[in-house]
Amino acid sequence: MASSLKNLSDYNSTNLIDVSNKRFAVVVSEWNEEVTESLYSGAYQTLLQHGVKAEHILRKQVPGSFELTLGAQWCAQQKEIDAVICLGCVIQGETRHFDFICDAVAQGITQVNLTYNKPVIFGVLTTQTQQQALDRAGGKHGNKGDEAAITAIKMLGF
Ligand code: DLZ
């Protein structure tokens, strides 16, 4: 379903496991900072609302979405981290950079999931315009950061 047809923040929060002792790393890309800060805020608040302790949330910054994979790997290899959430925003420009970055980060994050056998969540917006990104980062289509946090919690309960 297209995300424009679904409020990304609609989720069923019943039957989620107790995550009060789980530790999360959140890797945030600095590109399109207005968007990624909103994604972070959504993810952070959602983790707290579900009982995660603030001191169990490790925030790490990377320059751009392309660097999310390595940042995620550095976090995932830490034994005490239970799940990693990657947050980024890639906006279509005039060159093919968009395609290369989106492909690289999607494949890279998949690889980190499988290598470390831990949930590594793809919270990366890939949009045509900044407005479409803002709509999905606390705007009319919800906040993909919330959804990324819930996805991490759901995967820990698998
Ligand atoms: C270079 C670049 C461009 C053009 N666009 C974006 C973007 O929309 N979103 C994003 O997160 N990063 C972008 N980057 C930066 C790359 O992700 C990366 O940081 C650089 O290519 C250096 O490796």
Write the pLDDT tens digit of every residue in 91-122: 998 889 999 999 999 999 999 999 999 999 99
Residue 24 in domain: no
Residue 9 in domain: no
Q: How would you label 5-43 residue by residue, b for 16+ Cβ within 10 Å and e otherwise?
A: eeebbebeeeeeeebeebbbbbbbbebbeebbbbbbebb
138 CA from centroid of ligand 1 (Å) = 22
Which CATH number covers residue 144? 3.40.50.960
142 lines ligand 1 (CB under 6 A): no
157 lines ligand 1 (CB under 6 A): no
pTM: 0.95
Pocket test for ligand 1, best of 33, 66, 68 (most atoms within 8 A of CB): 66
User: How many domains are there within the chain?
Assistant: 1
Q: How far is residue 100's CA from residue 80's CA, in Å, rounded to a whole number?
A: 32
Residue 37 in domain: yes
Write the pLDDT tens digit of every residue in 59-101: 999 999 999 999 999 999 999 999 999 999 999 988 899 999 9
